[in-house]
Structure 1
Amino acid sequence: MGVSIAVFASGSGSNFQSLVEVARQEHWPEQISLLICDRPGAKVLKRAQALDVESYALAPKSFAAKAKYEQAVLEILKQFQIRWIVLAGYMRLIGPTLLTAYSNRIVNIHPSLLPAFPGKNAIEQAFSYPVKVSGVTIHFVDEGMDTGPIIAQTPIEIAPEDTIETFAKKVHQVEHKLYPRVVYDLITGKISCPSLD
């Protein structure tokens, strides 16, 4: 059955929407059936509703510990028979509970050429540094901050005439093309984690 991909997101959800729309248009063998959000009220929840994707909003601070929050998330993932976790603007480090259950099956997109500019505000960091080229990275998730094995990278020039807004738009355009393509290659076995080879 095509119930196998969950997207985790914290913000507006433009990458989430792009992934869902491409998966449906291209008739992926495994569809995105679930959204997990750690910020009740985030815009991504409205996108999920409009796209008719089941969503759960769980506030981590309402749990006694990170492990308890992740255990609650894990129970939902099991209920939906999720096989892959795709992070799309999810602003939390993944802990041992989910890393163990989904070893080599959690991927993330980051708006820089890692290992440069990890963590928050990577677009702003690259623009103000300044560097002439930044980009987008897709990587497997480990216990670190944007430190997992890199799957794909696309460089993006920061032109002299760019503003932070125009550069951010370039980054998002690349993200919306690159992420669906890489996720498709993962779920169809064209790409595998180095440790699985």
Structure 2
Amino acid sequence: MIQNKINFAILSTNYGRSAIRVLKLWEEKKLPDNVNIEVVVYQNLPSGAAEYADNLGIKTVRVNKEDFKTREAFEQKLLDVMTENKIDYIFLLAFSYLIKHDLLKQYADRIINIHPSLLPAFKGHKAIQQAMEYGVAYSGITTHFIDMHMDKGKIIAQLPIRFFKNDTFEDIDKRYMENSDQILLETFNEIVNG
């Protein structure tokens, strides 16, 4: 029996390293068979994620927040893109804006975020730097559904990352990227399997 296709949109603000990881997993057919990356929405240039998606024949749309007078107008444009492309789930991968309005209402429990800490610890920006300053032995990566509050929605998956005494930010960042596929795969499987 063939499962129904589940359409995902990826939203990314800057270059999009995590978004590229998801696109590579999709290209290598490592994601569940019914996962379809339908559109990549990006904001800033250059966008490695948009370039990678273009090369795979995946639709890309630039929606730049600076082009809109209000946050509501910006989110309405994002919602329009989601509706036009029949999106089931939205995956925020290094997306820099807190979603609050109609987009969140229309996609309640269907917008996923990835965050570089073991939530609820180290919410918000510069989570890796926060963990380093605190002197933790472990932090990690969390995927979660978003709600009205920053980094507070229902957790989907978590992956611990070891911090060592003499680590630089670059050492830890590399370890995060090396382990990101594992949590991305777990997240897609959790969503597909309900």
TM-score computed with the length of structure 2 as normaliser: 0.89
SS of match in other structure, 2:159: strand
Give the alignment's Cα RMSD to 1 decimal. Answer: 1.7
Alignment of 1:13-162 (within 5 A): 13-24=16-27, 25-26=29-30, 28-162=33-167
**What is the rounded CA distance, in whole Å, between the counterparts of 1:21 and 1:85 in structure 2?**
17
Q: Please give the per-residue CA displacement for 1:50-71, whole angstroms capped at 9, x wherever unaligned.
A: 3322111111121121111111
Name structure 2 gaps, 5 residues minimum.
none
**What is the rounded CA distance, in whole Å, between the counterparts of 1:123 and 1:2 in structure 2?**
35
Assess if the C-alpha contact under 8 Å between 1:13 and 1:47 holds in 2: no
**What is the rounded CA distance, in whole Å, between the counterparts of 2:95 and 2:47 in structure 1?**
11
Q: Please give the per-residue CA displacement for 1:138-179, whole angstroms capped at 9, x wherever unaligned.
A: 111001111111121111110124221111111122222211
Identity of aligned residues (%): 30
Assess if the C-alpha contact under 8 Å between 1:40 and 1:58 holds in 2: no
SS of match in other structure, 1:138: strand
2:14 is matched with which residue: 8, 11, 33? 11
Q: Please give the per-residue CA displacement for 1:7-48, whole angstroms capped at 9, x wherever unaligned.
A: 111122222122122234135202111011132433322222
Letter in 2 for 1:96: H
